[in-house]
Structure 1
């Protein structure tokens, strides 16, 4: 029987009595594991070997698990300190034991949460009463850490491994192990003699030129054999959508703005007629930076903005009658919206005075101290835009949105009146989620108030908006949790499998 060299090597290394893994055969033959796998499948198809598959689970210690392997589990350390302090005879103050055990930071809470669970004692009223009959040397979880470190996780009970995994001390992984065994036909073939055939696995230009291809024997390809998965890099779907948004707005006659992520509160909020005691400007909602304040702000513009806050604008203006501090205005924070860019451009500070009509946009990241949920992140992308012109109205603003979202196949847009300190009239935008059918907020918009425009020297109308790029993504692709596509919990398989819409 004539077989390719790789198949002959695998056949001769295989055993009829002892199943061998692909890795063992690779070591015995000197071939790569993927080459052995392909040869084994070819031999299986010829009935010469049997290939069985098993699911193998392995475990390894996390960094925290390795720390506890060296220093001991926090609850064990607390128990030993309690015994040394005589807590098995009468309760001892917990603070004394924590100091004696050397526990610190989150280890204290970890020790307390596991102390009673393992029967080491009772904690009541800040005092520890230790169980004299407990045996920390027989702690199953401590023994399991040692077993995992010695690659003996198979000897550990599943429930103990589950507990260690839930505590973040162990990571488990699964892989498919293939076992190869000679069949009776394979044994017979070896006894009768197997000859290695000189085969080639690819056609080269030299073979074509010399005509050698007519005389060589080509290796048969097994299209069912497993091959290594190659994950090529590609542009993130969020970035692809951002680029498409930019192309769409440029096509609608807009120019792009750019500016700093960390900026003075003056540009982020004061120019927007946001009172300095507004809840959104506290440390609860913004990310303030401990850096020197910004100095490069036109003094006359600062005076005009302060006047708008204190006294209002126009005959009927009344201002806020609330505290206003220039030091606070100059303090640096991460921008909570890209309207800071709009203020820089409308004021003429970014690139000189602008004459109407003008259209500008940005698709940039903003930062807010929000609670994480399926539609909120601490940082996200905002589609900022504004149009400067004479006699603009809400009808123009709504028409702009309908035209913009139509470019993305979204036609069910609804509007709801809203209050903003910086626009009047104002309204929110809602789109219907394609999977859940629910209306989700996708943006905020309105006509800038005189208290915003007059200090900036603008004498015409300006309509403006801030839209969420991630919400647009949800409407386009049906994502229900934005954390699946953005942030530390994103689903890489979902990103790889999602087909980009055009």
Structure 2
């Protein structure tokens, strides 16, 4: 029997009793993997080889998982610190245990969220209690991390699921093809196979010389799958952002832009957010170390904002009666919302004094020190918008949302009263998830308070909102975990194959 050289090599390397992968055959025959793969499938079509497919799962530690495998899980560190401080006998201040544990940044929130879940104790009203009977030595997640770090398998699927949800391990699936000689393949080898010199392409020289009559042409398998090539594609989140911009421009809005890193003055102080508000602590914001503060702030506006915080605006406002520090206002951080752009525009700092009516929007990234979960990321896109006009009402605001979301096929919008330091009245928006049927929060809105508008020099009504672009994406496409489309764990196959909704 005459066969192409690559097929002869694969056939002679294959075994009738010991399964071998295509990768192993390629290595034994010194063939390129793609050449060996083609030869295997051609021999399978001729009945000389049998090919079995299976899916193998591998589990590997992420960078964070490697860190915890070496240094220990944050919740165990917190438990050991609390135990050392005597929290097994009497409750102690949570800050004392955190300080003694050496934890910092996001690890604090991670430790707190897993502490009670694992039965290490309880946390209530800023105090922590340690359960003396807890056994961190037998912590299933810690043991699994250690095993994976040592290259050992972990069979507990529930523990692996938990570690994966925490972003400490990655699971990958791969298709493995195993090859065996068939009876016909064994017979062919016993009878003898020869490498035939084959030609894969007819050339002009063969035609002119007549050489084509004496050569054997390679057979082409027209049913074989072609190599998949994935070209570039605009990310579905960017596609949706562009659609949002088109819709808002069509509704008469102009687009704002501005710095991602800005002074706390523009991010929070102008919004009448008290400087001791929990959202302004180092736990919730990303501060910059170089530079640490902004030098250029409008002095007159700074004084008006300071007075609004300390004294309030008008007869019915009393301010916060809490310390206000200009150095803190000058501190630079990554913006936690794009309302910093609204403050720059409304104050006239960005494009000069604006006269009503005006409509502006932005679709830009914001940054928050949140705990990662299916609906929260450390950075995400916010749809910021505001309208400046005389005699605006909440009805105008609700009508704007109904018109906006209808452009995306979303008509079941619900509103819930809410409290914001900077708007009154205020309400949150909720939409119904098309797969789970749950109501998920998709935005926050309201009418800016006098304490916000008067220092900025605005003498008419302003209605404003901040909507989540990723949540809009979830309502449009039915995604249940935003990490599938955004971030280091995103599903590339999903992004390649998902259809764009028009």
TM-score, scaled to structure 1:
0.71
Q: Give how far 1:249 is off.
A: 1.5
Q: Give how far 1:498 is off.
A: 2.8
Q: Give how far 1:270 is off.
A: 1.2
Q: Secondary structure at the match of 2:361?
A: strand
Q: Give how far 1:190 is off.
A: 6.6
Q: Secondary structure at the match of 2:392?
A: coil
- 1:286 and 2:285 matched: yes
Name the structure 2 match of 1:135.
none
Which range moves more in the overlay, 415-424 or 487-496? 487-496
Contact 2:286 2:369 in 1 (8 A): yes
Name the structure 2 match of 1:352.
352
Q: Give how far 1:430 is off.
A: 1.0
Q: Secondary structure at the match of 2:454?
A: helix
Name the structure 1 match of 2:34.
34
Partner Cα distance (1:304, 1:2) in 2: 92
Contact 1:384 1:465 in 2 (8 A): yes
Partner Cα distance (1:343, 1:213) in 2: 80
1:56–1:263: structure 2 CA closer, same or farther, 3 Å change rule? Answer: closer
Name the structure 1 match of 2:139.
none
Q: Give how far 1:324 is off.
A: 1.8
**C-alpha RMSD of the superposition:** 4.4
- 1:418 and 2:418 matched: yes
Which range moves more in the overlay, 264-273 or 477-486? 477-486
- 1:395 and 2:395 matched: yes
- 1:325 and 2:331 matched: no
- 1:408 and 2:405 matched: no
Contact 1:50 1:183 in 2 (8 A): no
1:315–1:492: structure 2 CA closer, same or farther, 3 Å change rule? Answer: same
Residue by residue, what CA displacement relative to the aligned partner does 1:105-156 show, whole Å, maximum 9, x if unpaired?
99xxxxxxxxxxxxxxxxxx9xxxxxxxxxxxxxxx999999x6xxxx8xxx
- 1:219 and 2:219 matched: yes
1:175–1:328: structure 2 CA closer, same or farther, 3 Å change rule? Answer: same
Residue by residue, what CA displacement relative to the aligned partner does 1:14-38 show, whole Å, maximum 9, x if unpaired?
5567665434543454432222222
- 1:264 and 2:256 matched: no
1:177–1:158: structure 2 CA closer, same or farther, 3 Å change rule? Answer: farther
Name the structure 1 match of 2:118.
none
Name the structure 2 match of 1:253.
252
1:442–1:172: structure 2 CA closer, same or farther, 3 Å change rule? Answer: closer
Q: Give how far 1:337 is off.
A: 1.0
Q: Give how far 1:222 is off.
A: 5.3
Q: Secondary structure at the match of 2:375?
A: coil
Name the structure 2 match of 1:96.
none
Partner Cα distance (1:8, 1:255) in 2: 68
Q: Give how far 1:399 is off.
A: 1.5
The aligned runs of 1:43-122 (5 Å cut-off) are 43-53=43-53
Q: Give how far 1:286 is off.
A: 2.7
Q: Secondary structure at the match of 2:440?
A: strand
Contact 2:356 2:390 in 1 (8 A): yes
Q: Give how far 1:433 is off.
A: 0.9
- 1:335 and 2:348 matched: no
Name the structure 2 match of 1:444.
444
Q: Secondary structure at the match of 1:341?
A: helix
Partner Cα distance (1:192, 1:436) in 2: 62
Name the structure 1 match of 2:477.
477
Q: Give how far 1:361 is off.
A: 0.9
1:375–1:60: structure 2 CA closer, same or farther, 3 Å change rule? Answer: closer
The aligned runs of 1:121-140 (5 Å cut-off) are none
Q: Give how far 1:384 is off.
A: 0.4
Name the structure 2 match of 1:467.
467
Q: Mark the runs of 5 or more structure 1 residues left unpaired by the alignment.
A: 75-103, 107-124, 126-140
Contact 1:164 1:170 in 2 (8 A): no
TM-score, scaled to structure 2:
0.71
1:198–1:174: structure 2 CA closer, same or farther, 3 Å change rule? Answer: closer
Partner Cα distance (1:31, 1:252) in 2: 61
Q: Give how far 1:434 is off.
A: 0.8
